[in-house]
């Protein structure tokens, strides 16, 4: 079951402690203005988790995520961490969250990652149809065209 978590009191947020990519980002940040957590599974058997921040620009580093978005409507969904407990479920979650974003945020037309420069991230995103949009000093932005 897909959950988009926007409430800091949601018990499913207890799984944020398992984030292998961006463990330093506090839980309350992940569910603040224009930010949410996508959760696939249920409280007894999580399958995958993704954290998303909506922006009107494309961040190049983690610190850019903290910049408050302008008054402009967000046009970019930034996936800044994703992990799975069940093989293959991170991909399922990514595409399910994109579908929900398209319905709930019609101004969002770009789907970008803020990924670490690791082979695991590269393989995951390229295998799932993303292209390298920009290589930054410490991160890579992959972009999904999501014709899928």
Tell me the per-residue pLDDT of 34-86, one tens digit each, with 9 for 90 and over: 999 999 999 999 999 999 999 999 999 999 998 865 667 899 999 999 999 99
- Reported as a pLDDT band with limits 50, 70 and 90, residue 142 is very high
d(CA 57, CA 136): 15
pLDDT exceeds cutoff 70 at 146: no
Structural domains of the chain, count: 1
Q: Which of 134, 146, 124, 118 is nearest to 21 (CA)?
A: 118
Which secondary-structure segment (H or E) carries 142? strand 139-144
CA trace torsion 138, 117, 130, 125 (10° rounding): -140
Could you give phi then psi for residue 103, rounded to 5 degrees? -75, -45
Mean pLDDT for 132-148 is 88
Tell me the per-residue pLDDT of 86-126, one tens digit each, with 9 for 90 and over: 999 999 999 999 999 999 999 999 999 999 999 999 999 99
pTM metric for this prediction: 0.94
CA trace torsion 119, 124, 128, 129 (10° rounding): -20
| Residue 45 DSSP class | S
At 147 the pLDDT is 47
pLDDT exceeds cutoff 60 at 148: no
User: Which residue range(s) make up the domain with 81?
Assistant: 2-144
Q: What angle do CA 80, 118, 47 make, to 5 degrees?
A: 55
pLDDT exceeds cutoff 90 at 33: no
CATH number of the structural domain spanning residue 90: 3.40.630.150
Give the three-state DSSP class for 17: helix
Mean pLDDT for 22-31 is 96
């Amino acid at each position: 079951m897909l959950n988009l978590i926007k409430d800091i009191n949601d018990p499913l947020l207890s799984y944020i402690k398992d984030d292998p990519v961006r463990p330093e980002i506090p839980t309350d940040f992940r569910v603040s203005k224009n930010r949410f957590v996508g959760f696939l599974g249920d409280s007894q058997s999580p399958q995958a988790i993704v954290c998303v921040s909506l922006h009107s620009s494309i961040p190049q580093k983690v610190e850019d995520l903290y910049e408050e978005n302008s008054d402009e409507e967000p046009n970019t969904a930034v996936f800044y961490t994703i992990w799975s407990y069940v093989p293959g479920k991170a991909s399922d979650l990514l595409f399910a969250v994109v579908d929900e974003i398209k319905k709930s945020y019609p101004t969002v037309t770009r789907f970008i990652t803020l990924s670490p420069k690791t082979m695991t991230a590269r393989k995951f995103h390229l295998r799932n149809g993303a292209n390298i949009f920009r290589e930054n000093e410490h991160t890579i932005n992959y972009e999904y065209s999501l014709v899928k």
